[in-house]
Structure 1
Amino acid sequence: MDEIEKGIFVSKDIERRDGKPADYKVGIPGKLELHILAVVITELCERYTFYGNTMMLPAYFLINLNLPRSQVVVRTKAFSFMAYGSTILGSIIADQWLGKFKTLLYFSLLYFFGTVLTTISSVSFGSAESRKILFYFALYPMVALGTGGIKGNVSSFVGDQVHTDYQATGTPGVYRDPGKTIEKCYRYFYWAINMGALLGMIACPLIVKHSDYPFGFMSTSIVLAFAIVIYFSARKRYTIIVPKMSPIAKVSQCVRYALKNKDSRHAYWLDAARGVENTCWDDRFVDGLASTIRCLKVFAFFPAYWLLYNNITDNIILQAMRMRVPRWIDASQLNLLVQIAIIILIPIYDKFTERVLNKRNVRYGPIKRITTGFIVIIVAYVYMIFLQKKIYSTGPYYDFTGNGANKESFNDIAVWWQIPIYILIGSSEVFTSVTGLEYAFSQAPEELKSIMAAAYQFTNCCGSLLGLILYKLTEDPTIMYLYIGETSVMVVVAIVFWFMFRRFDTK
């Protein structure tokens, strides 16, 4: 029996020009090892904490802190803005100084102490104003910043744990393909994200309903503490990449050289940086930098998607509070249908859809997947506009501008009308957001993976910023025009995106 049949042959022995083994015929994803699963479980717990907090915030701001609806939207979007805006800071700290492992650990501890303080601030003691100040201090500089430091690094860190070589199976010509393993890793990583979010969305509102906010916030602290223990326990098995030269400095030097030396001989301006000796970069880095720039162009269209998506944490919950909600469920809990849709659809895509497409040699590349997600969320918003009109056409308060309406008033229309919105938004996330994470990791050179992951997360921050700018339109009845405007913009974005980047799927 030769080495291929024994299953011990790997690609570094004999390679084709594309880096694959000489007898490569079919690639299959490899298994996810235990330390990879430790990172996945850690992220599941972190998402429980984040989404558990996110689900509690609108009602906490509205009822306990007595804020008007527009200010609830402002503070909720500000939390999301800070959480995803600080991803860049986390990635820079990891890539230039601490490395991903230590950065994740330290930001997790900051995050944990923030959740402890939100718990303390929600207990009735001292003056209401002092508790409010403590709550804001814990929520924004600690919980939001801790989230950003984790989100800026965890997706690239889990990718670092996947083997980069082609490993033979017992069947000649069939190899465990690192590219397919990365895709599988990110699908289940994203599955864990949404399972954690689902659990947080179910548990935290129920805990608040049957106990009170201190116990709801306390549950997030306990789960996050468990996550830190799991993450730290696998430290000896992780692939830890020690930062060397600052990647930002490396990019800066490479770009400056290319701009200074470009001329008509170069088909692409970065080509001027190729083949240069005695520099901190090589041609492989230049190739990766070119891919990174293409990736950033793709990401420039994501803020419009997140503008629509992020309404699930505030405006859509507030819409539910204007509808008839059964006593046994909280208005925010329909949000969990997003996570249920993702949890169901990701394994289906992994086990069935991808196999069918592969057998028929159909390439369903990242640009097609992202565009599909854009289209699905547009359909969700067309339905939401219809629903908002139906709410305003139903009594007793209609558009809530008269008849003694207040912030707790609702019309006689069942909240179950919202179900298609959540399912469609969750379905869009399977195509758009999962692909974005995978695309960020696969397109960037090794030194820039954290920064690229953070750049992708930063698009969510930009979406939240757009939402903050539009907050004055979130009151009744102007929110109807907000939904129409956002949907119209998304239609234009989807069309332009497809025609600009559809050729990228062939590269």
Structure 2
Amino acid sequence: MGGKSIGKSLLCLGFPVSIFFIVINEFCERFSYYGMKAVLTLYFTRFLHWDENFATAIYHTFVALCYLTPILGAIIADSWLGKFKTILYLSIVYAIGQTVLSVGSISDLTDRNQDGSPDNVAVNIALSMVGLILIALGTGGIKPCVSAFGGDQFEDDQEKQRSTFFSLFYLSINAGSLLSTLITPTLRASQCGIHAKQECYPLAFGVPAILMAVALVVFVIGSKMYKKVKPQGNVILEVSKCVGFAIKNRLRHCGKEFPKREHWLDWASEKYDKQLIAQTKMVLRVLFLYIPLPMFWAVFDQQGSRWTLQATAMDGDFGFHIQPDQMQIVNPILIVIMVPVVDSLVYPLIRKCKLNFTPLKKMTVGMFLGSLAFVAAALVQVQIDKTYPVFPAAGQSQIKLINLGAVPATVQFQPELPTVGVAPNDATGYMTFETSKLQSLHIISENASETVALTELKENRYTLPFKLSEMKIKWDLIEDNITSKPASGKSLVRFINNFPYPINVTMGDTNFGLLDSLSVSNYSDVPKPDMTYIINISASQMPSCRVVSKTFGYGGAYTISINSCGGNELNITYFEDMAPNTVHMAWQIPQYFLLTCAEVLFSVTGLEFSYSQAPSNMKAVLQAGWLLTVAVGNIIVIIVAGVSTIKKQWVEYVLFAALLLVVCIIFAIMASFYTYIDPNEIEAQFSKQEKEEDKKDQDDNEKGAEADSRM
């Protein structure tokens, strides 16, 4: 054991004062981790401009690392540094990683385009990846140490206080998760930047970095109060060595005559004692059941990737606007509500019905509910897909006609393609044509006509504004360069100048520049699509003129025609190029509810089952195995996202649902062959055998000594 602790004599409400530092540290660390993680997928897609599959793969690579490094942290703490120094050193690494990630998200590190967006994000990517690797090492490395370090602060006669501490500890985890998932997406959605106002990722990552620094400072302040247990060797390494020796010894005797062994692990008996071998057997029986479990985590951890991306195409208006990455808050809220409800109502009711709802059966039902959650996600995705615009396929072009004149017009597509009528100050939708068949179009309005050549069209969307002016048709052909929903999740706006002279257009703080007559500006994000803005124009030929815009909603695209000015009141017309999101985010709640039910049945029960079936000194081995299943589950998502050729997202959801259902059936079959044991009884039997053997040895020694005295 470690040296004498000051914390033993300092008590507050019957608790060691040191544990309050540990609880505050955990709250700040979890706020830091979950806050950063909540906005990570959107950072990849919106700031680094990665496609959704690659962003998903990198996100799950990071999560997998976070659940692989705890094994390393446990070995370092138990074998060399001890828990205190491991937490201290890796927290420093953690804080540095958060800081590097925050700095890496600053857009002004690189060259910029005219709109202020980063032109080359190589520096941002490099810093972001270094930051994430350091964070994974830090958060994973301290994960197995902090709760155990808190438990070390109590004396043997403080079991009740220790139990209360763990409740406070897990409450701090949920509180940190809830608050950060609510706050950091709001920080992300705010506008910042020197050269252009963009989503504020430096702030969204910077606040978690500050919280991690606070966590480190708080932990250090309590240093002199902690009881610090010296490293006592790592049981994970002992079990690994025992298993390795058994396999090596068995292979060495392959093909030779040897005494028969009841179990392959008995081949380790030449070097290791029987109790360690028996305990290892118990652990391996449980670890064998862990083999199908990664598939559940492959589904569960997509809340932060695929489900967040799904929410970007949905309407978040709940009377107040919910950011797509804030929907993840539904899970911790439901956990806080459901765990006590299930423990105090559901399970007692099941027992009253005399149903044998064993832990493994609970886990099986949890996997089944996880599969249903992804079926629900697929149904929601089908509805979202129905609202998506149709973009040109290979070999196709799309053209939208806008008549900015005061008289109707007829447009004839050549050769032998349809004729379209366009009313004054009106527009068609995007019309799809085979690019090779489009040669020209002929605009006729009153006594004027004009032919527009289309031989240079690409496979893209085009807008063709035109108007009759001074008995002549004026027109312009604009390549839209918009082939997907806005990557920012906001709405896009552009302006057409319907004045006969150039005008300067601004909307809020965004300047769209000087537009010639009938020319069109580039699309620009609406900073807050649920707000109205002042649209203002100015020109040398006229005084400034303005109007209040409508609210644009999220996920849409609009062309606004600047028509005329009367009494300083601007007359404009809205043309909807892409409909805003219409499927409400509330439709994600059923899938979150099903997945949270699955988590309560699977995760909470799984940990309790594992601990109940493990020897008292080997619970850390099962904790490491459990965390490893989470890492492997995320690796499964990486593989699917990397190699999948599935184009429809709902099909991928169904695929994961089907895979989890198959694994659920396999797990149910494996569970049916499992026999529950009481490790304490087995350990007691070994203890009794050791006492009997010691007594026998003592008796033999006494008889030998007696015989020697007679000689």
Question: Which residue identity is paired with 1:91?
Answer: A
Residue aligning to 1:309: 300
Distance verdict in 2 for CA 1:355–1:488, change over 3 Å: closer
Judge which range, 85-94 or 457-466, deviates more: 85-94
**Residue aligning to 2:701:** none
8 Å CA contact retained: 1:55, 1:204:
yes
Q: Deviations over 1:123-152 (max 9, x none)?
A: 344325464145324433211221221234
Q: Return 450-459 or 486-495, whichever deviates more.
A: 450-459
Answer 1 or 2: higher relative contact order, Cα 8 Å, separation at least 6.
1
- 1:79·1:140 contact (CA, 8 Å) conserved in 2? yes
Q: Measure, in 1, the Cα distance between the counterparts of 2:675 and 2:165.
A: 21
Which range moves more in the overlay, 456-465 or 287-296? 287-296
1:446-457 pair list within 5 angstroms: 448-457=618-627
Larger deviation, residues 296-305 vs 246-255: 246-255
Change (3 A) 1:98 1:109: same
186, 193, 200: which is aligned to 2:180?
200
Q: Which deviations, in whole Å up to 9, do the C-alpha atoms of 1:343-378 show, x marking residues without a partner?
A: 112233455556667889877543233223212212
Give the aligned residue type for 1:194: N
TM-superposition CA deviations, 1:13-42 (whole Å, max 9, x none): xxxxxxxxxxxxxxxxxx997656654543
**Are 1:270 and 2:265 an aligned pair?**
yes
More displaced 10-residue stretch of structure 1: 80-89 or 189-198: 189-198
Q: How do residues 144-163 of structure 1 correspond to structure 2 at under 5 angstroms?
A: 144-154=136-146, 156-157=148-149
TM-score calculated relative to the size of structure 1:
0.78
Instruction: Assess if the C-alpha contact under 8 Å between 2:99 and 2:131 holds in 1.
Output: no
Shift of 1:64: 1.7
Structure 1 258/464 Cα, relative in aligned 2: closer, same or farther at 3 Å? closer
Name 1:254's counterpart in structure 2.
Answer: 242
Q: Which runs of 5+ in 1 are unaligned?
A: 1-30, 168-175
Q: 2:362 aligns with which of 348, 356, 369?
A: 369
Structure 2, gaps ≥5 residues long: 1-13, 111-119, 192-199, 399-429, 431-481, 487-554, 556-579, 678-711
Tell me how far apart the structure 1 counterparts of residues 293 and 167 of structure 2 sit (CA, whole Å): 19
Aligned-partner Cα distance in 2 for 1:376–1:101: 40
Aligned to 1:215: 203
2:71 paired with 1:71: no
Corresponding residue SS for 1:345? helix
2:593 corresponds in structure 1 to 423
Q: Where do 1:476-495 residues align within 5 Å? A: 477-495=647-665
Task: Tell me whether 1:123 sits opposite 2:106 in the alignment.
Answer: yes
Deviations 1:238-262 (A, max 9, x none): 6654334454553355335555489
Q: Distance in 2 between matches of 1:95 and 1:79?
A: 25
Amino acid at match of 1:213: Y
Deviation, 1:318, is 0.9
Tell me which moved more, 396-405 or 423-432.
Answer: 396-405
Q: Distance in 2 between matches of 1:399 and 1:503?
A: 55
1:313 is matched by which residue type in structure 2?
Answer: G
| 1:382-393 equivalence runs, <5 A | 382-393=375-386
Aligned residue identity for 1:80: V
Counterpart of 1:42 in structure 2 is 25
Q: Distance in 2 between matches of 1:426 and 1:58?
A: 21
Q: Shift in Å at residue 319 of structure 1?
A: 0.9
Give the residue type in structure 1 aligned to 2:650. Answer: M
Change (3 A) 1:362 1:158: farther
Which protein is richer in strand relative to its size?
2
Match of 2:387, SS state, is coil
SS of the residue 2:314 aligns to: coil
Cα distance change on mapping 1:299 and 1:479 into 2, 3 Å: same
Are residues 1:435 and 2:605 paired?
Answer: yes
- Who is 1:12 aligned against? none
Could you tell me the TM-score, scaled by structure 2's length? 0.57
Cα pair 1:73 1:314 within 8 Å, conserved? yes
Mapped partners of 2:123, 2:225: distance in 1: 42
Q: Which amino acid aligns with 1:311?
A: Q
Q: What is the letter of the counterpart of residue 52 of structure 1?
A: G
Q: State whether residues 316 and 322 of structure 2, in contact with CA within 8 Å, keep that contact through their aligned partners in structure 1.
A: yes
CA 1:439–1:78: 2 relative to 1, 3 Å: same
Q: Distance in 2 between matches of 1:476 and 1:253?
A: 43
Q: CA RMSD in A?
A: 3.8
CA contact (8 A) 2:26 2:215 kept: yes
Q: 1:145 & 1:488 partners in 2: Cα distance?
A: 33
Letter matched to residue 214 of structure 1: P
Tell whether the 8 Å contact from 1:48 to 1:199 is kept in structure 2 after alignment.
yes
Closer/same/farther in 2, CA of residues 393 and 407 from structure 1, 3 Å limit: closer
Answer yes or no: is the 8 Å Cα contact 1:153–1:450 preserved in 2: no
Structure 2 residue aligned with 1:322: 313
Change (3 A) 1:244 1:308: same
1:406 counterpart residue number: 484
